[in-house]
Structure 1
Amino acid sequence: MLVDQTLLLTQFMTLLAVLDPISHTTLFLTVTGDLDKAGRRKAALIAIPVAFIVLVVFAIVGQFILQAMNISLLSFQIAGGIIMLIFSLMMVLGQGGGHSKNPDVEGETPESLGVYPIAVPIIAGPGSMLAMVILMDNNRLSFFEQMETVAMLGLNLLIMLGLFLAGDLVSRIIGKHGANVLRRVMGILLAALSINLIAEALTKWLGLPPI
């Protein structure tokens, strides 16, 4: 079977827009701001595979699970938006988000930060999960086409991993105070994105005009 290059390009660009590696690199730096170079590298090497597994598994079984539990995609989008909103408020208010001075505190080790919040919900958030469910529609695409989607996801996450691993250079440039300011700015932007996810779902549900 020949590879549909148009489909591959469409999937790659869609995931690139949803995952937004540059913005996620900024978030990665703010969350891991108190880790050293080795800790940041470990967090990146944990976060990317975990995010990949979560997104692929959810793309495969998510549609069945949501249908079995009678949960609509809009409800899932609202729930995910609320979780992201709570995390973004913690970033803005200086609670969590990697600001603790003691990396040994529970929830602040490279391993724990790599899983939460970097892998989930920053990378594997409601937006990327919904995108994967749509791109791997079980009722529309063949198994081969679904594997193409998985390959495009892997390529995007490899790009993100490269940016994460190069983040130490960016961290040295912006400095500690710059990272603190950046954390709060990105928290505000993440809060806006969360509100947008919730508002989009409510707009579709209630049949309101777009915001």
Structure 2
Amino acid sequence: MSDLTAFALLCFTSFFTILNPIGVMPVFMTMTADLDSAAKTKTARKAALTSFITMVTFAFTGKLLFQFFNISADSFRVVGGIIFFSMGYEMLQARLSRMKVSEEDVRQYVTDISITPLAIPMICGPGAITNSIVLMESAGTFEKKAVLIGMMALVNAIVFVVLWGSAGISKALGDTGNKILMRLMGLIVMVIAVEFFFSGLRPILRSIFNVG
């Protein structure tokens, strides 16, 4: 196996595991339960595209931005945990799903959720951003950098396909099934949020209190 092939495999497996499109799918289904197929497709496309652009941006500028603003990945995890918890609570109350709304409201809703929380931090969270920065530093040649960007594009394309395909599952579940799934996923998202929050908070507290 060539060095370039090994690097491509590393990029693909690490990003696919971190982005976890199968794990994002139930959340996407519950948040878009009352949207039509076209709106769901648009949401999935915008979320995947936003995630890709974010990953590429941080790959090239992330280290400098983090240093300039004195931001750590742990701080990002804490904020992500707060966002996840708020979203999970709304899902637990079955309030994320929209009733009949105007076309303008639907467009605004699609724009809102496709960027936050779907693209950031649900798909492209601290792990994906950190992975982008670390792998870009490891990519010493132009070829490796090109492979890295290509793998980012491929994994986000897979994310789009998975989310796009979830529309059929959502339709099969029906209104009651979607609400049950929403509450179940709300509980899971809240648990993930707590883990996310404390995985970021622990290193920060250790640094503050100088605990090894």
Common fold by TM > 0.5 = yes
Distance, in Å, in 2 between the alignment partners of 1:106 and 1:35 is 8
Q: Shift of residue 120 of structure 1?
A: 2.4
SS at match of 2:70: coil
Matches within 5 A, 1:11-160: 11-95=11-95, 97=96, 99-104=97-102, 105=105, 109-137=109-137, 140-144=138-142, 145-160=144-159
Q: Does 1:189 align with 2:193?
A: no
Q: Shift of residue 141 of structure 1?
A: 3.0
Q: Shift of residue 10 of structure 1?
A: 1.6
- Range 159-168 or range 141-150, more displaced: 141-150
Question: Structure 2: any 5+ residue segments left out of the alignment?
Answer: none
Distance, in Å, in 2 between the alignment partners of 1:134 and 1:82 is 25
Distance, in Å, in 1 between the alignment partners of 2:83 and 2:94 is 17
Q: Shift of residue 48 of structure 1?
A: 1.4
Count of residue correspondences? 204
SS at match of 1:29: helix
Q: Shift of residue 130 of structure 1?
A: 2.5
Q: Shift of residue 143 of structure 1?
A: 4.8
Distance, in Å, in 1 between the alignment partners of 2:107 and 2:182 is 17
Distance, in Å, in 1 between the alignment partners of 2:181 and 2:120 is 20
Higher helix share: 2
Distance, in Å, in 1 between the alignment partners of 2:126 and 2:42 is 25
Alignment TM-score, normalising by the size of structure 1: 0.84
* Structure-2 residue corresponding to 1:169: 168
Distance, in Å, in 1 between the alignment partners of 2:48 and 2:89 is 24
Alignment TM-score, normalising by the size of structure 2: 0.84
Question: Structure 1: any 5+ residue segments left out of the alignment?
Answer: none
Distance, in Å, in 1 between the alignment partners of 2:109 and 2:18 is 27
Q: Shift of residue 89 of structure 1?
A: 1.8
Q: Shift of residue 106 of structure 1?
A: 7.1
Of all paired residues, the percent bearing the same amino acid is: 26
